[in-house]
Structures are given as C-alpha cells and as structure tokens.
Amino acid sequence: MRNLALVLASASVISFGTALAAPQAEPAAATADDGIPDVYFVPMKGQMGTDVHPSIYKDVIDDIRKTKPDLVVFVLNCADINTIFYLQDDDPAEASQFMLGEYREIVQMLHEEIRDIPQVMWVEDSVGFGSLMALAWTDMYMTSEARLAGLGKVLMPVMQWRDPDVRAKMLAAWTGIGKGFIEQGGYPLDIGEAMMRPEKRLSCSFEGRDVTWHLDTTGTWIIDDDEKRTSQFTAQLAEDTGICDGIADTKDDLMFLLGYREYREVPGCEATVERYIDDWRRTLDLCTTWVQEYQQYLGWAQGDDAIKYLGQAKERLERILGAMIKYPAVEIRFRSATGADKNAIKIQIEQLQEQIRAARKQQQGGGRGGVGGGGGLSGGGGRRR
Amino acid sequence: MIRMNSRMLAVLRALVGPMLALAVLALAPAAHAGSLEVLLRDGSTWRGELNDTVEARFVESGVELTIVGRLVKAERLYVQIDGEIGGNKVNKTIFHADLRSLRSTDGSAPTGTATAPGGTSSKPASGTAGPGAGTAAPGGDVGSGPPQKGKDGYLVSPKKGVFVLPLEGTVGIGLRHEEIEAIAAEADKYGPGQIIVLIVDSPGGLVIEGDKIHDSFKKLKDRHRFVAWIKEAISGAAFTALHCDEIYFQSVGTLGAITMFSGQDAIKGRELDAWLDKCSQVAEMGGRNPIPVRAMIHAPLLASYDKDPVTGKVTWYDTMQGATVLSNEKDNLVFNASTALDCHFSDGTADTTEELAKLLQLPEWYEISDYGRKLHADWQRTVKQCKEEVPLIAQRLQFKGSGSGDTEEVLGTRINLLKQLIQWWQRAPNVMRYELGVPEKDALERQIANLQRQLAMARRARQNAGN
C-alpha cells in the first residue's frame, strides 16, 4: 500500500517541507488543505490500567487538537494471554487491571473532547478489559489474527459474595457497567452479556442484512454453546456477524476499507503514547533497582555509618515516591508487586527520618555524656532547661 | 463486509479505486457555489446545502440503517447528520464508504426526527418551570453582570438555565444530602421551579444516608424540578436518582442493583418487605412504575413490559408475560441507556450538556450559578484529603517523635496528632466513621486528656530531677 501512497508523495513532501521551513508555525502539514486526509493513529497497547491509563490520553487529546486531523484511529493491542496456549508463559503482572471507572473515563474523554473528529477503533488483539474499549467505538475494524475476548474478568469481584441476592446484585452492577461501554459503541447488549457471563449462550439469526442476537441457542448460527465459558470472537467471526466493519492487516488496508486510497499519517502521532510507555516502564525498572539499594543500605546502616546509610535508604524511597507521583502506572505495578502504595512509602520515609534523628541523638548524647556526665536522653533534657 | 487481504486489495483497488477517489472529491464542499455535491457509490449525485433535511441510508456493523435529519457537515471523509435512528436522537458521522444513499426530504421531516431550530424534542414536556419563571421583572434587563433581584424579591438569571450538582462517590461519603439541600437553597434564591441537574456517578453506599436523602427530597421536590443525569447510579445512588422528576442517561450510564445488604448477607423477611415498599414509594414519587424498581432489589422478582407499537405506551408486568423481559427470577435488574429509554424509564440519552439542554427543552446550556460545581469540588477535595491524610496520621501515632528520645516530645507529638484527627472529625465525620473507622471524637478527646496528664507528670518528674 505504501507504493500506492507514492502517488501522493509529491503533495506530502511539499506540505511537510512547508512545515519544516516554518518551525514556529502550527503543524499545518497535518492539516494541509490538499484533499488528502490526515489520519492520527493513537496506540492503545500493552497493559490495560497502566500502559492504557487516563493520564496519557489527556496529552493525546491535546495533541490531536493541535494537529487537527481528519480522522483518528485508535489501534488497540491489549491481550492478557498470548496465542501460544501450551506455553502458559503469560506474565500475570501484565494482565489488565480491574479499573472499569478509569477505562470509562478514557472512553468518555475521547468521545466527547474530540467529538468533532470521526473516530475509528482498529483492534490488533484484545483479550481482557481491552475488549470493552474495542466495543466502545461504533466503527470497529480488526486485523485478521485479532481476538475479541476475555470479558469474563468483569465478574472477578462478584465471586467473593456468598449470599445469592447480593451476588445477583453485584453481577448485575458490574455487567451493567461493562455494558455501558457496549452501549456507547452502539452494539447489541446481548453480545456484552454473553461475553461477560459464562452461563449465557449466544447465537444469532439473519433476516436480510439484519442480525438478531439470542442469549440461547435458538438462532441459526450458534456462536457459543458452552455455559462454562464466555463468548469470544475471532476477527472472521466478528466480521461475519457484523460486529466489526472489516478486516484490515495494515494501516493502508484499513484506510482502503474506510474508502481512502490516499491518506497521510500525522507525523509523530504515536510518539506521545510510545514515549509515555517507555518512560513509565523504565522508571518502574529503576524502582526495582532502588528497592534493592534501599534494602542494601538498610542492612549496612549500623555503627558509625548508620546515619549515612539510613540517609541513603531514605533517599531511595524518596525516588520511588517521586516516581509513583509522576506515573500512576508505577504506583499500580509497585503496589501489585510489593503491597506498598504511596502512603506506605511516605510512612517508611518518615520512620527512617525518626531513626536518623535517634541515631544522631545517640551520637550527640554519647559525646556530651562524656563531657557533662549526663547520658543521652537526660543530657538532652538538661540542655533544654 | 468482505475480508480484505493484500491480494484482494490489489484487485479491489483496481476495480473500485476510481469510484472512491471521486467520492472523496465530491464530498468536499463545493468551493464556488456555496452548495454541496456528494457523488454516491452508485454514481448518482446529491446536491444541496448544509442544514438541509436529508435521508441517508448507510451500513453499520453489517446492517443497513436509515437516518433522517439535518445535514450538519459534509467533509472529505464523511457526512454528519443530526437526526434520529430507531427513535434515538443521534449526531451521526457516516463515512462515505458506508454511505449507500442520500436524498433530500421535503423539509418537513418525519415527526420528531429533526432537531432543526424550532424542531421538536422527543422529551415530553413534564411540568417545565423555566428558571426564573414568574420571577423576573417584566421586560427587566438583567444583563450579564451579577444577578439582580426582580420585583418579587428573587434573583433573576440573565438566561434560562440550570443549577448543576455533581454527586460523586460513595453514598454517605462523597454523595450526601447536605449538598442536595445546599444546591436547593441556592436555587431558592431564584424562586421556585428551578431546574436542578444532579450528575450521578456513584457505586452506592450507606443506607443511613439514603434515609436522609429521602427526607431531603420530600422537602425539596415541591419547590424545584430535579433532574438526574446518570453516569453510574448503582444501589444507593440509584435510590437517590429515583427521587428525581426526570432521569437522563449518558451513553455509558447504568442504574439499578438496589439490594440492601449488611456484611455478607442481603436483608430478608420484614426488612426486605419494608425496603421494597420504600423503594416502590420512591419510584412513584418520581412518577415511575415500581415494578422494575422492585426487580432491582430482590433477584426473584420479575419485570417485563409490552410497548404499544403505535402510541409507545408501556405496560408493566411483575411476571414474564411481557414481550420484553428485563429481569427473570435469577437476575437483579440494572438499566443501561437503551434499555431504560425503550421502556421510558429514562427520559432520554445525552452525552454532552448541549444534548441535555435540548432534552430539557432549553435553548442552550446555561448554568445559572457555579455554586453546585464548587460545592462538589470542595467536598470531594476534603474527602480525598481526609482519606489520604488520616491513615498517615494514624500511623504516625505509632512512631512520630520517637527519634527524639524525649518523652515529653513524644507525648506532645501524639497529642498534636490526635488533635488533627479531631479536626478531621469536624470536617468530615462520615468519612472518619464509615470509610476509615477512626475512633469517635470523644474517645480521642479522652485519649488526649490522658496523654496531657502523662505529659504533666513527665514535666513534673523532669523538674523534680532538675531540683
């Protein structure tokens, strides 16, 4: 498809060149009025709840407003499990987080704040809460290997309840919230119900081009006849049943399906998200190092070097706290791994301060004790008087 | 839709490429004539202007749909039509690849489909009492400055508008009757009949607060028109919203699951009966049938309805006999935007304030005062600070000051920390009691008195040692 884009090469080069020649100008290249649509691709990839977090999409929206593209394409690739089942090598720490409120915030933010720009969801793969995002956009395309699955996770908090009435309440509440995403995308709620609740079966019937969904097996096409697992869709199945609008394996394929032989990708449009993901993950790695150093310094904090090493241990915790404040994703992952959140770190820092203070007092008190004959604490008391 | 792979694409490009290219160009607004031309896939051309009433057929998720409405945009990539699909008002963006046909209608669009200026809204008029109705001095020019008083002594808003109060967080913690009463008091300054929009985003909460909210609404409802705008109204939040005269959903909105429980177990027997009765009464207060509300409380209760295809009138059943079953004997009922709209449980769906203004039959969205939003922001800030700060204070009680090795300093520090907790009790008692489980204020005061006694003894001991 890139070859096809050569047709527009001259136009693109000219308009980009103009932008480069005027560095202070708005990124007008992206909005050049040359008839070629400017497309802004927004990655939604990695772990739902950390890589996909509301904090970064605010920046994305700002950038979209600046560049004023003709079309925004969200590229979703969030799969809790890979496709090589027998290896069972999926990292549980990378599984999508139960943060439906935050995901809903992202959906509403993107739908409302750039509502004047048409938006398309393009699913590369989605297993887990990412599927809620996929179904929150009306115009949805998939790659040929993409999956749309894993929404049984929505029921995670339900199982802790014993009482059947309370369990029914919790189930209805969480699936209701989940179906809110599907409602936003304009898909039949029965699909969401079957994707979230294992006991629901799913089939569909066709009348002309209309698809009718059934939460049982009375339809002519049985999608899910297993009451022990939730419904899921391959790209082909999603397309055949009209859930997705088409299958496209490359950006060019996608744009062609949308009806454009020519398009121009807004330069650097993926950078905001890519940079954010790189940055917070690198910071998380650093936090692991800082924790190890913290533990090492604590171990060394004895005798004459106690104050020095306690100070260094405290400084490492301050770095971790700073990282958590800067990146909520770091706090989420750090908490999952260690159980410690921002407040726990703050308290540890304050406790170290007290220890440092005590150690100083001990050193000072010992010295004075020799001179004034008083011992540590009472020496302090004496000075006060 | 046809699955596209690269080889197929190459073939298709050759076949349909020229046609699509034409469509791209044709969708661009004509530069000279001030009118639009859209070349369609079948080779025909639609000509007209923005704001024309049009009927468009398009494909979505493999299904062909029709929208009738006002053409608000015709760009290179898409057209945008403000109209109605299946009874729902929408602002629809249609990519030209999905557009099958486009034709002008005679301007008198089918009933209720157009939202052109002066057009009708699907929202039935429901006792609308416009802001300031009957309160403004006739012909009085209030301008855009600070509100002035009318002849009747009430403040006069420069425009028709609403009061807004976001209700967020746990019922009894973030969402409280105090704020509801406060916004009503603010609205009172402008006279009775004000529109108060409660933006509800809450997972539910304390039953005890539900009782207070109920009492507040009983007092306030005959003074003002309460509107709930639902993002999330689960459990106690649904109970709160049910008091309102009108309920609107956001697209992602959800409402229901009002089952009351304590610890692990749902209430049963007489307690359950009383709760069912109370919620039924609240449903009727809001002008709604209690059947779906009861199905939100106890899973075995059923709810279904029939809808008259001509009049749209809904008939409720507490059995499964209705054509649309909302809740069977296993499920608790929670509404989403479309299910609530279909049975008229909700009065409409709006994702923006402008859309809500239309549904409220207001000419535009205008907030008479930002009092409610400030109230909400202040209280949410307080709750957040309290939740963050108090656990820290509680932990500091264990160690703060200990590094000094000075008994007096340690005791003094603890007294200060306990005093901080008491201050939080004054600022946010419900957060302290229900959310954080901090000992009651009088217990803390007793602890302070005890520590003060210890401090006095320590001082005396030090003085004695000095002598």
Chain center to CA of B404: 52
Find the mean pLDDT for residues B350-361. Answer: 96
Residue-range definition of the domain harbouring residue A313: 275-365
- 3-class DSSP state for residue B333? coil
- CA dist., res. B359 & res. B362, Å (int): 8
Is A211's CB within 8 Å of B63's CB? yes
Q: Which of B21, B61, B253 sits opposite A261 (nearest CB)?
A: B21
Flag whether residue B250 sits within 8 Å of chain A, measured between CB atoms.
yes
Q: Which of A242, A248, A355 sits opposite B62 (nearest CB)?
A: A242
Q: Are residues A246 and A291 in the same domain?
A: no
- Give B460: exposed, middle or buried? Use CB within 10 Å, 0-12, 13-18, 19+: exposed
- CA dist., res. B245 & res. B238, Å (int): 13
Question: Residue A82's pLDDT is what?
Answer: 79
Q: Are residues A279 and A263 in the same domain?
A: no
Residue B261 with chain A: CB contacts under 8 Å: 163, 165-166, 169
- Phi/psi zone of residue A339: left (φ > 0), alpha (ψ -120 to 50 degrees), beta? left
Is A377's CB within 8 Å of B405's CB? yes
Strands laid side by side in the B314-317 sheet: B314-317, B303-307, B324-327
Residue A246 with chain B: CB contacts under 8 Å: 1-4
- Give A160: exposed, middle or buried? Use CB within 10 Å, 0-12, 13-18, 19+: exposed
Q: Which of A138, A163, A173 sits opposite B266 (nearest CB)?
A: A163
- Cβ contacts below 8 Å, chain A against chain B, sum to 238
Question: Residue A361's pLDDT is what?
Answer: 85
Question: Residue B448's pLDDT is what?
Answer: 97
Q: Which of B62, B265, B403 sits opposite A211 (nearest CB)?
A: B62
Asked which of A228, A246, A270 is the last residue of a domain, the reply is A270
Per residue of chain A (385 residues), what is the pLDDT tens digit?
333 333 333 333 333 332 333 333 344 344 667 789 999 999 999 999 999 999 999 999 999 999 999 999 999 999 988 776 676 778 888 999 999 999 999 999 999 999 999 999 999 999 999 999 999 999 999 999 999 999 999 998 998 899 999 999 999 999 999 999 999 999 999 999 999 999 999 999 999 889 999 999 999 999 999 999 999 999 999 999 999 999 999 999 999 999 998 999 999 999 999 999 999 999 999 999 999 999 999 999 988 899 999 999 999 999 999 999 999 999 999 999 999 999 999 999 999 999 999 999 888 775 433 323 322 222 233 333 3
Flag whether residue B61 sits within 8 Å of chain A, measured between CB atoms.
yes
Least Cα separation, residue B3 to chain A (angstroms): 5
Flag whether pLDDT at B120 surpasses 60: no
Secondary element (H or E) of residue B93: strand B88-95
Cα of first residue to Cα of last residue in chain A, in angstroms, is 86
Closest chain A residue to B94, measured at CA: A118
| Residue A74 vs residues A137, A163, A178, A191, A317: alpha-carbon distances, Å | 9, 41, 20, 22, 37
- 3-class DSSP state for residue B347? coil
Q: Are residues A142 and A76 in the same domain?
A: yes
Residue with tokens 């949410």: B380
Find the mean pLDDT for residues B348-377. Answer: 96
Q: Are residues A128 and A195 in the same domain?
A: yes
Closest to B337 in 3D by CA, of A187, A62, A183: A183
Q: Are residues A80 and A56 in the same domain?
A: yes
pLDDT digits (tens, 9 = 90+) for B248-266: 999 999 999 999 999 889 9
Least Cα separation, residue A211 to chain B (angstroms): 7
pLDDT digits (tens, 9 = 90+) for B281-298: 999 999 999 999 999 999
Instruction: Kindly report which listed range (B87-91, B444-448, B455-459) carries the lowest average pLDDT score.
Output: B87-91
Flag whether residue B354 sits within 8 Å of chain A, measured between CB atoms.
no
Q: Which of B17, B77, B392 sits opposite A70 (nearest CB)?
A: B77
Q: Are residues A101 and A199 in the same domain?
A: yes
pLDDT digits (tens, 9 = 90+) for B133-191: 333 333 333 334 567 888 888 999 988 999 999 999 999 999 999 999 999 999 999 99
- CA dist., res. A232 & res. A234, Å (int): 7
Domains of chain B, each with CATH number or no CATH = 6-104 (no CATH), 156-289+336-369 (3.90.226.10), 381-466 (no CATH)
pLDDT digits (tens, 9 = 90+) for B408-418: 999 999 999 99
The 3-class secondary structure across A212-268, one letter per residue, is EEECCCCCCEEEECCCCCCCCEEHHHHHHCCCCCEECCCHHHHHHHCCCCCCEECCC
The CATH number of residue A48's host domain is 3.90.226.10
Is B252's CB within 8 Å of A184's CB? yes
Domain for residue A375, yes or no? no
Question: Residue A88's pLDDT is what?
Answer: 72
Share of chain B above pLDDT 70, in %: 81
Q: Are residues A184 and A170 in the same domain?
A: yes
Question: Residue A32's pLDDT is what?
Answer: 64
Question: Residue A329's pLDDT is what?
Answer: 97
Domain for residue A198, yes or no? yes
- CA dist., res. A289 & res. A317, Å (int): 11
pLDDT digits (tens, 9 = 90+) for A293-325: 999 999 999 888 999 999 999 999 999 999 999
Cα dihedral sign for A324, A325, A326, A331?
Answer: positive
Task: Round the average pLDDT of chain B to a whole number and report it.
Answer: 83
The residue of B251, B261, B325, B396 whose CB has the most chain A CBs within 10 angstroms, and thus the best one to mutate to test that interface, is B251
Domain for residue A171, yes or no? yes
Domain for residue A384, yes or no? no
- CA dist., res. B141 & res. B121, Å (int): 29
B228 near B247, Cβ under 8 Å? yes
Flag whether residue B467 sits within 8 Å of chain A, measured between CB atoms.
no
Find the mean pLDDT for residues B235-246. Answer: 97
| Residue B130 vs residues A129, B126, B346, B363, B435: alpha-carbon distances, Å | 43, 11, 21, 11, 39
Q: Are residues A54 and A191 in the same domain?
A: yes
Asked which of A239, A270, A301 is the last residue of a domain, the reply is A270
Residue A37 with chain B: CB contacts under 8 Å: 24, 76-77
- B 9-38 residues with CB < 8 A to A: 9, 12-13, 17, 20-21, 23-25, 28
Residue with tokens 């599927």: A131
Q: Which of B13, B77, B392 sits opposite A256 (nearest CB)?
A: B13
Q: Are residues A73 and A152 in the same domain?
A: yes
Q: What is the count of structural domains for chain A?
A: 2
Question: Residue B43's pLDDT is what?
Answer: 60
Flag whether pLDDT at B132 surpasses 60: no
Least Cα separation, residue A357 to chain B (angstroms): 5
Flag whether residue B299 sits within 8 Å of chain A, measured between CB atoms.
yes
Closest to B57 in 3D by CA, of B106, B25, B93, B103: B103
Render B394-437 in DSSP notation, one character per residue: HHHHHHTTGGGT-HHHHHHHHHHHHHHHHHHHHH-HHIIIIIS-
- CA dist., res. B13 & res. B8, Å (int): 8
Domain for residue A103, yes or no? yes
Closest to A188 in 3D by CA, of A199, A173, A203: A203
- B 118-177 residues with CB < 8 A to A: none
Flag whether residue B405 sits within 8 Å of chain A, measured between CB atoms.
yes
Is A256's CB within 8 Å of B257's CB? no
Confidence of residue B62 (pLDDT cuts 50, 70, 90): low
Domain for residue A285, yes or no? yes
Is B97's CB within 8 Å of A358's CB? no
- CA dist., res. A163 & res. B265, Å (int): 5
Closest chain B residue to A173, measured at CA: B257
Asked which of A212, A242, A270 is the last residue of a domain, the reply is A270
Residue B337 with chain A: CB contacts under 8 Å: 180, 183
Is A183's CB within 8 Å of B252's CB? yes
Q: Are residues A167 and A231 in the same domain?
A: yes
Main-chain dihedrals φ then ψ at residue B420, nearest 5 degrees: -65, -40
Domain for residue A377, yes or no? no
Is B351's CB within 8 Å of A163's CB? no
Q: Are residues A6 and A46 in the same domain?
A: yes
Q: Are residues A109 and A217 in the same domain?
A: yes
Least Cα separation, residue B199 to chain A (angstroms): 14
Closest to A338 in 3D by CA, of A284, A258, A273, A280: A284
pLDDT digits (tens, 9 = 90+) for B422-441: 999 999 999 999 999 999 99
Domain for residue A326, yes or no? yes
- B 317-336 residues with CB < 8 A to A: 330-336
Flag whether residue B75 sits within 8 Å of chain A, measured between CB atoms.
yes
Least Cα separation, residue A291 to chain B (angstroms): 21
Task: Round the average pLDDT of chain A to a whole number and report it.
Answer: 86
